[in-house]
Amino acid sequence: MWYQKEIRLPSKPRGFHLITDDIVRAMPELKRMKIGVCHVFIQHTSASLTINENADATVREDFENYFNRTVREGESYYRHNDEGDDDLPAHIKTSLLGSSVQIPISNGALNMGIWQGVYLGEHRDYGGERSLVITLNGEE
Amino acid sequence: MWYQKEIRLPSKPRGFHLITDDIVRAMPELKRMKIGVCHVFIQHTSASLTINENADATVREDFENYFNRTVREGESYYRHNDEGDDDLPAHIKTSLLGSSVQIPISNGALNMGIWQGVYLGEHRDYGGERSLVITLNGEE
Amino acid sequence: MWYQKEIRLPSKPRGFHLITDDIVRAMPELKRMKIGVCHVFIQHTSASLTINENADATVREDFENYFNRTVREGESYYRHNDEGDDDLPAHIKTSLLGSSVQIPISNGALNMGIWQGVYLGEHRDYGGERSLVITLNGEE
């Protein structure tokens, strides 16, 4: 069976945010699936999806600080800078981290490890709402 | 339904290249699918696939410059360097960016955001032709 | 058809390890599939999956050295450091490289390029056993 839904997440501050619950809440059909894959896709080029620790919030703060140091704003060689200093770095961070996550479904639930959660990486200072396309495929 | 095709892209200069149209053109079966996922895989370890901005070409130039600075050629600690200075950096860039992209299909088309496109990252100076395996799965 | 299995890989030293054979061995159902996708997911936040060269082992050594230099231990701004100096860097490396790989299946086998293999990135000094969820989906 296939199920697909587009959801809009409200505007979030720059940084990394846990969105596992938003995904699960949007897809009650998950419960019916014995085996499958959940595919989550973000329709933007300045915000990313990745999977990492769901417990200690300092991991998400350290991520923000690490990526800001690794992909610096205002490098003199950047040519794409009409939209502000956070623009090109946001594109690079998005490709380093990725635009989708794929999670196995087993016995009616996402089969992640107990410490795993889905992060939205908001890489713009004022990114606004963000759209996700969630697609479930599996056997019931 | 499942559809799969291997395509060969002609040799491209080192850098980032938009290949969304090559993918869509190769898979006319896309139009038949109501819900699904398009999986694109590159069969090489020195070229990558990622999703980013499809409009301003300076984004792709900035990507090339950023990745050349972040994964430098000729580092003294590299041991895998028989094939030239661009070889090991090409492998690392490939794993940072990834070997596949997964894109939702909705109503007969790839359901990306309006600014999104698929990039081929050619990380060798003379990479030659590159092979992709495109797999569509969905309900018609 | 859908097939899914969880496997546990024995503890490995910090670094990058080829695990293609472990995946193929765990999934004899691969041989039956004409077209499909193999989805491999790691249930941890301090170990990663990526695809890269399966031949020269110095690639995997250079990867370990590159990622140790790019994601340094003991940075003064890290806040998440209760579990040791290798902890937060392991989380970052995991998100840079990714928690899953998706590989096309064609004619009963993984359809990778001849130089491609699946790497497990073990980013902790003492990571212990690691769990993978392997999901096959395709037509027979």
**Per-residue exposure over A16-50, b if at least 16 CB sit within 10 Å of its own CB, e if not:** bbbbbebbbebbebbeebebbbbbbbbbbbbbbbb
- Supply the pLDDT for residue C54: 97
Q: Which strand (E) or helix (H) includes residue A59? A: helix A57-70
| Pairwise CB contact (< 8 Å): A59 & C95 | no
Q: Is residue B129 part of a domain?
A: yes
Calculate mean pLDDT across residues A72-81: 94
CB contact under 8 A, A65 and C77: yes
C99 CA: distance to closest CA in chain A (Å) = 7
Q: What is the pLDDT of residues C95-139, one digit of tens each?
A: 999 999 999 999 999 999 999 999 999 999 999 999 999 999 999
Q: pLDDT digit string (tens) for C28-56?
A: 999 999 999 999 999 999 999 999 999 99
Domain count, chain B: 1
Residue C81 has pLDDT above 90, yes or no: no
Of the pLDDT bands very low, low, confident and very high (cuts 50, 70, 90), residue B27 is very high
Residue A81 pLDDT level (bands cut at 50, 70, 90) = confident
Nearest chain B residue to C112, by CA: B43
Is A87 a residue whose pLDDT tops 90? Answer: yes
The reply to whether B67 falls in a domain is yes
pLDDT value at position C82?
83
Q: What percent of chain A has pLDDT over 70?
A: 100
Cβ–Cβ contacts within 10 Å for residue B82, how many?
9
B43 contacts in chain C (CB < 8 Å): 111-113, 116
Assess if residue C69 is contained within a domain.
Answer: yes
pTM value?
A: 0.98
* Pick among A102, A103, A106 to test the C interface (most C CBs inside 10 A): A102
Task: Kindly provide the ipTM of the predicted complex, given to two decimals.
Answer: 0.97
Whether B98 has a pLDDT exceeding 90, the answer reads: yes
How high is the mean pLDDT of chain B?
Answer: 97
| A99 within some domain | yes
Residue C1 in domain = no
- A·C CB contacts under 8 A: 84
- Beta pairing, strands A109-110 & A100-106: antiparallel
Residue A101: CATH number of its domain: 2.60.120.460
CA dist B87 and B74 (Å) reads: 10
Distances (CA, A) of C65 to B32, B71, C102: 47, 12, 26
Whether A5 is covered by a domain: the verdict is no
Any domain includes B8: no
Single-letter amino acid code for the residue at A79: R
pLDDT at B81: 86
Q: How far apart are CA A57 and CA A64, in angstroms?
A: 11
Kindly tell me if the per-residue pLDDT of A56 is higher than 90: yes
For the cut 90, the answer to whether the pLDDT of residue B97 exceeds it is yes
Q: What is residue B5's predicted lDDT score, i.e. its pLDDT?
A: 98
Backbone angles phi, psi at C75, to 5 degrees: -60, 140
Are C51 and B95 inside 8 Å of each other by CB? yes
**Which two tokens mark B14?**
């080192």
Q: Would the pLDDT of B82 be above 90? A: no
Answer whether residue A82 shows pLDDT above 90.
no
User: With an 8 Å Cβ cutoff, are A78 and B97 in contact?
Assistant: no
Give the structural domain span for A96. Answer: 13-139
**Average pLDDT over chain C, rounded to whole?**
97
**Mean per-residue pLDDT, C45-68:** 97
Residue of A nearest to C4 (CA): A35
- Any domain includes A2: no
